[in-house]
Amino acid sequence: MKFVSALFFFVLAALSGRGQSAIPVAKPQRPIPAVQHVLIISIDGLRPDRALLADMPKLRSLLKQGAYTFWAKTTAVSITLPSHVSMLTGVTPGKHGIEWNRVLPFKEPVYPNVPTIFEMATRAGYTAAMVAGKAKFSTLAKPGTVMCAEVPDGNTQSNNEAVVLRAVELIETKKPDLLFVHFPDADAVGHALGWGSPEQLACIEKTDRQLGELLAALDCTDLRASTFIIITADHGGAGLTHGADDARSRHIPWIAVGPGVRKNFDLTTSASLEVRTEDTCATACYLLGLRQAPYFDGHPVMLAFEVAP
């Protein structure tokens, strides 16, 4: 598929195979009936202190509307693909098996050892979609598990502009029950010019404006009131890189906004709670009424909700 920006994207799946049945599937009963859509947004490379220092009015407005922590943790390896797969499967890299971080010349496509949130949602009768800025995200789009999964072609990377353009189009035309959006630019600038550089800070501030475009699309389609939003990241960074078990790489933001969530609530008020990236998948499963798989490493962040079950 070609974007108007001339970036080449492809559609990997269209609700076929075992992810779809000819007979409509009744969706599970959801614990918060008002939540009809889940939107997961990952800002690649967003170190929490950069988000706090940058001028991010859209993100800050969401803090007042929801529950948050700037002390969440990503996987110990703290690199893009393994961390995102953990975010969207609820398990550590040792379980999901995606431990590399680039497009590899496999003879056959390789997918995680466990179902993604897209696969679990599709099996339950939901529509799931993904827009990502890096080609390696194709490993998350097992055929038959995603209505629409768009990533750059080959071994390339697109940019935030292309991602937000397509994500807004999907919101307006398809209204998926589950949508994952990946913004790549802050990570690209971090690798090129440094984490914490003035250029990265400017990029993060631009990303906030692009986040605003997604929120505006939800408003224009009257989906905002029925959408639960999780905003997070895959890793932080230091210098020109990020890596294993470095605190500057491991800490990530985690912000939840939507029906049933506590307002202006700092999750660090609980000393015993440490939000982990695997909790994103578990929380999304909870909201969609999907079972918590016994192999999950993540757990729903129940403290984020006004009324615990």
Three-state SS string across 212-278, please?
HHHHHHHHHCCCHHHEEEEEECCCCCECCECCCCCHHHHEEEEEEECCCECCCEEHHHCCCCCCECH
Instruction: Please provide the average confidence, as pLDDT, over all residues in the chain.
Output: 91
Per-residue pLDDT tens for 227-282? 999 999 999 999 999 999 899 999 999 999 999 999 999 999 999 999 999 999 99
Residue 69, φ and ψ in degrees, nearest 5 = -150, 145
Is residue 285 helix, strand or coil?
A: helix
- Helix ranges (H only) for 174-197 are 185-193
pLDDT number for residue 24: 58
Mean predicted confidence (pLDDT) in 211-222: 98
pTM of the model: 0.91
The enclosing H or E element of 131 equals strand 128-131
User: Which homologous superfamily is 9-304 in?
Assistant: Alkaline Phosphatase, subunit A (3.40.720.10)
Per the model's pLDDT, the better-predicted residue between 105 and 46 turns out to be: 46
**Euclidean distance between CA atoms 85 and 91, whole angstroms:** 8
**To which residue do tokens 């959801």 refer?**
30
- Of 178, 142, 136, nearest to 37 by C-alpha is 178
